[in-house]
Structure 1
Amino acid sequence: MALAASLLLRQSQSLVMTPQLMQSIQLLQMTHLELVRFIESEVEKNPLLEFVPGDEGARGADDAFPSDGTYYSVNEEQPARDVADAEAGSSGDLYEAATGGSAGAVAESFDSSLENVFPDDAGPRAADAPELLGQWKSMPGASHGEGYELDEFVAAQTTLRDHLAAQVPFLFTSPVDRLIAGHLIDQLDESGYLPADLSDTVLKLGTPIADVARVLDALQQLDPPGVFARTLSECLAIQLRARNRLDPAMAELVGNLELLARRDFATLKKLCGVDEEDLVDMLAEIRKLDPKPGARFQPGICESVVPDIVVRAAPDGTWLVELNAETLPRVLVNNDYYASVSRRTKRASEDQAFLNECLQNANWLTRSLDQRAKTILKVATEIVRQQDAFLLNGVDHLRPLNLKAVADAIKMHESTVSRVTSNKYMLTPRGLFELKYFFTVSIGSTDGGDSHSAEAVRQRIRTLIVAETPEAVLSDDDIVAVLKKGGIDIARRTVAKYREAMNIPSSVQRRREKRALAKATGF
């Protein structure tokens, strides 16, 4: 067969992933904080965009967020009188314009302070103790009672290293011991444990290992009790020694924590040489100890979850689904600035091309945010419609649901629904849930009826285990039999998988624990 060149005319279709389309897809799966950071970066690059966060945006763009929760982009036109006022002000006295402002404005412009040059014109000084302003009239800042920040009077949080370093001078007098103590303090982790090996400290400081061990034994007596421990057993032993409760039986119990994790109370009673009542008392005392003594000095990060969707009961018995206005970004396109700059530039110039590109990107961003909000609202509305029984009666009536069912109902692709439900939260009368929570696998029914949700089955298993008695502890096979009587067709291995996922021990361990507690309490 001979090869020859020829010209062909062919018509075909192809899907092109443009940068705008890629960013639109990324906007769908962004969380609220990620979306705010993205918009802030776009505002820095685009002079036509204005991002108004918080209440100011809500007041400036009330028409963008109607009562039904739908988001609309807003084009804001700044009044031209601001420019006119600026031009009129420039024709005044230059000295008055330079010195007529406050001292703070002058200080900012010259990067200096007027407190020494013009003491009478200095700004208000913060009060040394604002809570005593009513009693001490001569206090700086008492004349006005304003001009101070409450954050300036808040004490810094003490860290674990600072707390221990303050106790070291009272424990050691030798500079060498203090040096070793400071090095060991630097090796502590967030929980107060010493993960480093003593041989590393010996090699780094060049001191005998006996001195390092002696300093470590002294450091283990510091507050909080349990610091500088290398294992959990040693941490609990240090705290028990501080309470004068580390007797041979308690030491044997602390040294066999793996048996305690398996609830092997029979072996523990033999090793400790105590009866069942004493063993229960020892376990109760161990529960009062702190396994992570250094964690209390770590600054706690409170991350609040802001819901993207709010669901409320409507007066007619239906559900009202709304977008949370707090999570909707306020993005404004300044068309007045675009028109003003366009009149001053030539149409063929590079500045005009850059300005047109900025306007195109700004309009695209507002349309993408509008489409993102509408898509989230559409998906959430369909989820509420599908899970109406859950909102009315609780988790036992949660229906099995998958992404394809929602995608087919709202005429969207399954991947789009997956991106919308990622890291998005819904506030319902039943509580705050992630949108992924409503999508669970289906478990068949024994009578051929409607399928059951996996989350509802887990809740049923948890309820059965909580209602157990020491004489009637349910095994996995017993739970399967009970569920089948209730119309749930489930295998034993599935029950074991759900039980382990909920951190529920086996029936043997639960029976040991319940019997021991029953004998100790007399019930």
Structure 2
Amino acid sequence: MIGQRLEVRQGQGLVITPQLQQAIKLLQLSNLELEAYVEAELERNPLLSRDEAEAPDQPADTTSASETELTFSEGTPSPDGALDAPSDALYDAAPGERNEVQTDAQPGLSDWSRAGNGGGFDHDDFERPDEHELTLSEHLQAQASLAGFTPSEHAIALTLIDSVDEAGYLRANLGEIAERLNVPMERMEQVLSRCHGFEPSGVMARSVPECLKLQLIDCNRFDPAMAALLDNLDLLARRDLAALRKICGVDQEDLSEMIAEIQGLTPRPGAGFGSEPAQTIIPDVFVRSDPAGGWKVELNSDTLPRLLMDKRYHAEVTASARSDVDKVFVADCASQASWLVKSLDQRARTILKVASEIVRQQDAFMAFGVEFLRPLTLKMVAEAIEMHESTVSRVTSNKYVSTPRGVFELKFFFTAALQSSDGGATHSAEAVRYRIKGLIDAEDVTGEVLSDDRIVEILQEAGIDIARRTVAKYREALKIPSSVERRRQRRAA
């Protein structure tokens, strides 16, 4: 029967206000983007002003929002309360539940950490990435993720990629990087050699001759005569062809063909990619060795804008406001100013909290180098500090930490891991890839061609919980044919 009636229903919902959307963006801004945002707010809001005064000294029994001392050692949990920060109601609410704790700045702000978790709004409205042309660095990082590196090799590769200029050349001293990461020079050379196989051909070379050499190797045109030509490019520049013929041991026709091949190569392999304005990386967090043991984690105060709301000026303009429009404008400015001041403080505390947990998890890397980089995921950090995974993801985007091993993006410390089938320690994805490669390489000895299902069984017997499609994905990333193709190759041989 169709009719009208009144019903009272009780339910839970997620309210995303415009200010909350801005707060989410604020959390993931880099320090340069944050500075630009604050400057714009200072221009727009007359009630905001910079706090030029020095931050007051913290009481002896409290922990500063800009510094946390971690006195743990490897395998030891951090002291209780070391990562605690007040006002975490902004972040701690569970997904799908309304947190009733409110702030004076903006009622909806308490739902910050749950935004993007479903519930009545379009996630893409404020988190859709800006469309931009793929940069060379992004292109190389994507290839490094699929190259089958171990966690330590992947970290080395990312460090090398950070030193590649827009032309595609590696502008770094391998010895200095090896010393900083505490790895043998031979290991650095091995990783760089594999990176030289990345596209575009010739990328990550250290000189023009090496760049051209890599391109010639790629097209199977590198031989002793061509090597001699590359070693004497200065003679080619002077057009001393007679000397080149003698050095290369070729006649005029062969030399002309070799020169034509050289001219067909590109001395700037990275020129075809988009570029971003060169920006100096300013660390958001400093990690220093504590003489008392452990690590001291501090926020970089130079990247933290200090703002306050001018309450005296607010009182003056409120008293002088006569029309409703003026009163609404003043009230809106006051609300925005209060929200921004509190949000900046909470942003700083959250960055410190996340960075401190990352340092706790990766303390062995800080002490001993890249070989001791542990498998780490966003979920592991989020659970440890009782925040939502999306909040950790936003905090680690475009944030950098200065460590005794160098300056790294916070996302550098996250490496993929596979869960142990017995609930024990996780296994890094890169290590599992090499285990798969080792099993397949051993086929020549055992005579058995392993299917992906058989590899899954072997790995699960070893305590690694992995799906068949994951084995297939890793095998393809290692450029290993399927078991059917390997059987055909064995028969043909």
Q: Give the structure-2-normalised TM-score.
A: 0.48
CA radius of gyration, larger in: 1
Q: Give the structure-1-normalised TM-score.
A: 0.46
**Higher relative contact order at CA 8 Å, sep ≥6: structure 1 or structure 2?**
2
